[in-house]
């Protein structure tokens, strides 16, 4: 990193993530209005434990919720679906891979949106290419 420069903060990562969400094409975009975006430094210990992840730097993003295809009209009272992005792991991957920060955040966002829709990895790649 160049002297005098600071790492992008939480607000910068959030702005990049919101821009990535804004580029999600129809018909997917219409189903994202109620999904909450959360940007944090790292995943909490309970989340890491539930996923069997020992090193917090390994988790760049996570979708919390039920995929749309598994939802029912009888569902009520639950927490809103959430996409979590984790700043420090994203910055670590950014440094390690050399891709642009915008491209990396876009990739993580699209991957988590894919989980919201219950998509396969192949379908996620197609969505990312279209966004």
Q: What is the dihedral of CA 30, 123, 120, 114, to 10 degrees?
A: -30
How is the chain split into domains, by residue range?
10-68+78-130
pTM of the entire structure? 0.81
The per-residue DSSP string of 64-96 comes to ES--GGG--TT--SPPPPEEEEEHHHHHHHHHH
pLDDT at 1: 47
User: Burial of 88 by CB count in 10 Å (0-12 exposed, 13-18 middle, 19+ buried)?
Assistant: middle
54-78 per-position pLDDT tens digit: 999 999 999 888 766 555 555 565 6
Q: Is 60 exceeded by the pLDDT of residue 89?
A: yes
Domain 10-68+78-130: give its CATH architecture: 2-Layer Sandwich (3.30)
């Amino acid at each position: 990193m160049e002297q005098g420069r600071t790492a992008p903060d939480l607000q910068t990562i959030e702005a990049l993530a919101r821009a990535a969400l804004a580029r999600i094409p129809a018909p997917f975009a219409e189903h994202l209005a109620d999904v909450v975006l959360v940007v944090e430094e790292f995943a909490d210990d309970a989340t890491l434990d539930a996923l069997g992840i020992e090193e917090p730097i390994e988790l760049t993003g996570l979708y919390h919720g039920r995929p749309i295809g598994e939802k029912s009209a009888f569902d009520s009272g639950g927490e809103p679906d959430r996409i979590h992005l984790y700043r420090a792991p994203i910055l670590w991957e950014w440094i390690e891979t050399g891709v642009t920060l915008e491209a990396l955040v876009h990739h993580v966002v699209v991957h988590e949106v894919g989980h919201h829709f219950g998509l396969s990895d192949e379908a996620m790649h197609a969505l990312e290419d279209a966004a």
